[in-house]
Amino acid sequence: MTISFKINGKAQTVEVDGQTPLLWVIRDLLNLKGTKFGCGQAACGACTIHVNGEAVRSCSYAVKFAADKEITTIEGLSPSEEQLHPVQQAWIDEIVPQCGYCQPGFMMATAALLNKNPNPTDEDIDNSIINICRCATYYRMRKAIHRAAKLTQANMSASTNQEETTSETH
Ligand code: FES
Ligand code: FES
């Protein structure tokens, strides 16, 4: 079947069996290799992407459900090539990755969490980020999530201040 959607801001149309897991469309047809295959059973989170802003495990999400939706993968997480997403910045600052394989999925899950809950507690993090890391980077990851929350809040208040300054000068 023919399926159209937006991925990382660009319109795409694919010709594919509608039952194909979205993960394989992303990796094999669209050649975006940042999203990883781990378990293939919606258990590990390595394949996490966003569909209309929600974290989704793409290994277990048939591509037909993505029709007319907005998909974001790790390649599209940062607002521009010059600017990192706060989650990416926090991950660098806390030197989170070890082998790195699970990390795109964790970052996508974290970005989705912070969109809904800009200041999560440890309990919120434990309840929402249930991905698996074989290298057990969980401690650094939790620190990075708190750091990303602070960076997000700082960015938000900086842009509010800028808007106020702009409106005062007009
Ligand atoms: S590969 Fe999708 S959850 Fe593990
Ligand atoms: S960093 Fe190696 S699996 Fe998570």
Residues 15 and 71 in one domain: yes
- Domain presence at residue 35: yes
Backbone angles phi, psi at 28, to 5 degrees: -90, -35
Residue 55 belongs to domain with CATH number? 3.10.20.30
User: For the packed helices 103-116 and 138-168, what is the interaxial angle rounded to 10 degrees?
Assistant: 50
Ligand 2 contacts CB of residue 46 (under 6 A): no
Ligand 2 contacts CB of residue 102 (under 6 A): yes
Residue that is last in its domain, among 43, 76, 109: 76
pLDDT of residue 156: 75
Interval between CA 106 and ligand 2 midpoint (Å) = 10
The ligand minimizing its distance to the Cα of 134 is: 2
Residues 94 and 154 in one domain: yes
Grouped pLDDT means (10 residues each) for the chain, 170 residues:
97 98 98 98 98 98 98 95 94 97 98 96 95 96 97 80 69
- Domain presence at residue 81: no
pLDDT of residue 149: 96
- Domain presence at residue 57: yes
- Ramachandran region, residue 53 (left: φ > 0; alpha: ψ -120 to 50; beta: rest): left
- Domain presence at residue 26: yes
User: Total domain count for the chain?
Assistant: 2
Residue that is last in its domain, among 48, 76, 104: 76
pLDDT of residue 169: 65
Parent domain of 126:
86-168
Interval between CA 54 and ligand 1 midpoint (Å) = 16
pLDDT of residue 153: 87
DSSP, collapsed to helix, strand or coil, labels residue 11 as strand
Residues 91 and 164 in one domain: yes
pTM score, whole prediction = 0.92
Quick one: which H or E segment has residue 14?
A: strand 10-15
pLDDT of residue 40: 97
Backbone angles phi, psi at 21, to 5 degrees: -60, 135
* Sequential DSSP letters for 102-127: THHHHHHHHHHHHHH-SS--HHHHHH
pLDDT of residue 164: 73
Residues 60 and 112 in one domain: no
